Amino acid sequence: MLRGLLMAGGGVQLLVCAAMAAPVAPTLRMYSQQLEVEYATADDAGRASVDVAPVYDGRDWAFSARWDDCSLNSLQMRQHMAKFGLKGTFYLTQNNAKNNFGPEYCKELMQDGFSIGGHTMTHPKLPELDAGKIWWELCANRVGREDDTETPLNSLAFSYGQFRSDKPEAFLMISEAVRRTGYHHCVYADFVRNNPNLAPGEFSTGCQVVPGDKVVDAQKFQADLEKPVSRSPEAYRKWSHCIFLGVHAWQAGEEWNKLDAVFQTISGKPEWWYCNQTEWAAYARQVTCSELKAEPAEAAAVARRYALSRPVPGDLGTATPLTCVIGKANVKGVKLDGQTVPFETRGAAVVVNLPHGQGQALPQRIGHIEVPTAAQALADSLECADFPGLKGLLVADPAQQKLSLTLDAPTACELRNVHIRFRLPLQYEPGIVIKTLDSVKAGAPQTVDIALPAPKPEPFWSEGPQYWVAEIDFTGPTGAGRLFVTRLVP
């Protein structure tokens, strides 16, 4: 992945990697931008190298945290971390019956740049479940928490850290369910690094360092942190440029003070990018799937153009810019789609952060319609709370190999640029089927049918409940939105 190490002046090192021609998932939405760099001379233009940085803003490491489970202690953890400018992600199961861990709880957890990740619905040992339950546990959790937080979820922590058992099909089913759910980051490095069921580069991960869930051990933490940071950074960077804290916010009393002391030692490093896991995952996915190609130019030209192909923010999870490092050349100016972009000279290299294009926005609001088992026709009860008046129905007819989605938009909420991903139960391959519509016009319910692929022959794929999901991205009157229409058939 690393193409070179640029030694910049003043001892500053900038890591770069080639814009990857890595496997772009066929279901990923991509768009193009044009980068234009004006160099000091034609010689500069001729010898310049333009690369994508593996960490945002050309930093050495991304630094994050993962804290698991619905726990009131997590609110305290967030405050302790925020005091030191640290960020991270809370991995949540579903809300409880008392509503202690719903949207309000998420909102509190997400202050100061923290985010939410998936941790299954009910915290089961996934390898003990059948295919239908594995799929529902993972996918329904992502749907529910996107609805609660109005933000995309791209990162997963397995409940009990379990994704394998002595049944070989368990690992196979769980891997397939995770990728089909729409995640592309997992905190378990072993799941990402040693998994023949994932495409190369399909998932990102990181190196976990643990200060101590109940008893904080600062010495052990520092020793563990030194391994990636100073002892063998190259070995670690071969598989991730992210280091993160974990695992549980179980500290109490004096342990919080000991944790503060640890946080003090890792805060304020200008060479680290303090980010949540959602941002790290989105950035890593961008690096893997973006492509930067120089366009043909006259040898005497001082300005050079590069075609940038990159995934849309809604599929990445955040709208974090993509960092380019321009080496071996003096730069006079940088433009992206004709707009001037600031750049910074650091030693011998130039660092430029490329924002996403105008009109490429994350969903501002995410809604969910849960279709009851008995529903057969559009009804007022199938209205989305997040998009008033918008109704949806999902009907599966496996015997006829048919899945039907019906959308009904009110006058106040006409949908444009409608992109539908049907996420199918595990026995179907391909597991994600895409349909697009120019619009769903007001007052005219529109139905989209897909033919279900033939089920896989091994019976284990078809066991358990059937969970059907339509994930609909669109542009509405108030901007980008996402709607899930789901149906659980027990």
- Residue 157 Cβ, how far from Zn ion at the closest point, in Å? 7
Candidates 159-167, 188-196, 277-285, 409-417; binding stretch for Zn ion (CB under 5 A): 159-167
- Residue 129 Cβ, how far from Zn ion at the closest point, in Å? 16
Q: Which is nearer to Zn ion, 107 or 160 (CB)?
A: 160
Who contacts 381 (Cβ-Cβ below 8 Å, separation ≥6)? 372, 375
User: In this structure, are residues 20 and 288 in contact, taking their beta carbons and an 8 Å threshold?
Assistant: yes
Candidates 151-159, 186-194, 195-203, 454-462; binding stretch for Zn ion (CB under 5 A): 151-159
- Residue 68 Cβ, how far from Zn ion at the closest point, in Å? 4
Candidates 56-64, 67-75, 130-138, 364-372; binding stretch for Zn ion (CB under 5 A): 67-75
CB neighbour class for 454 (10 Å; exposed up to 12, middle 13-18, buried from 19): exposed
Among 44, 51, 69, 137, binds Zn ion (CB under 5 A): 69
Q: Which is nearer to Zn ion, 44 or 69 (CB)?
A: 69
Candidates 19-27, 132-140, 153-161, 362-370; binding stretch for Zn ion (CB under 5 A): 153-161
Who contacts 230 (Cβ-Cβ below 8 Å, separation ≥6)? none
- Residue 91 Cβ, how far from Zn ion at the closest point, in Å? 7
- DSSP for 444-479, written as a single string: S-EEEEEEPPPBPSSGGGG-S-EEEEEEEEEEETTE
User: In this structure, are residues 216 and 255 in contact, taking their beta carbons and an 8 Å threshold?
Assistant: yes
Candidates 57-65, 158-166, 193-201, 218-226; binding stretch for Zn ion (CB under 5 A): 158-166
Structure tokens at 336: 């992206």
- Residue 275 Cβ, how far from Zn ion at the closest point, in Å? 22
Q: Which is nearer to Zn ion, 1 or 210 (CB)?
A: 210
Candidates 152-160, 286-294, 408-416, 471-479; binding stretch for Zn ion (CB under 5 A): 152-160
- Residue 109 Cβ, how far from Zn ion at the closest point, in Å? 15
Q: 218-226 contacts: CB < 8 A, separation 24 or more?
A: 218/258, 218/261, 218/262, 218/265, 221/262, 222/265, 225/266
Q: Which is nearer to Zn ion, 118 or 431 (CB)?
A: 118
- Residue corresponding to tokens 């990402």: 192
Q: Which is nearer to Zn ion, 159 or 406 (CB)?
A: 159
Distance CA 174, CA 164 (A): 8
State the helix-helix crossing angle for 254-266 and 73-83, rounded to 10 degrees.
40
Q: Which is nearer to Zn ion, 69 or 148 (CB)?
A: 69
Question: Which among 481, 412, 474 is positioned nearest to 448, based on CA atoms?
Answer: 474
Question: Which among 424, 488, 423 is positioned nearest to 455, based on CA atoms?
Answer: 424
Q: Which is nearer to Zn ion, 249 or 384 (CB)?
A: 249
* Residues facing 243 on adjacent strands: 63, 207
Candidates 130-138, 140-148, 154-162, 321-329; binding stretch for Zn ion (CB under 5 A): 154-162
Distance CA 285, CA 277 (A): 12
Question: According to the binding rule CB under 5 A, does residue 137 interact with Zn ion?
Answer: no
Q: Which is nearer to Zn ion, 51 or 69 (CB)?
A: 69
- Residue 116 Cβ, how far from Zn ion at the closest point, in Å? 14
Query: What mask, x for binding Zn ion by CB under 5 A, covers residues 183 to 222?
Result: ----------------------------------------
Ranked by CB distance to Zn ion, the top (closest) residue is 68
Who contacts 232 (Cβ-Cβ below 8 Å, separation ≥6)? none
Question: According to the binding rule CB under 5 A, does residue 68 interact with Zn ion?
Answer: yes
User: In this structure, are residues 39 and 330 in contact, taking their beta carbons and an 8 Å threshold?
Assistant: yes
In the complex, which residues of this chain contact Zn ion (CB under 5 A)? Answer: 68-69, 159
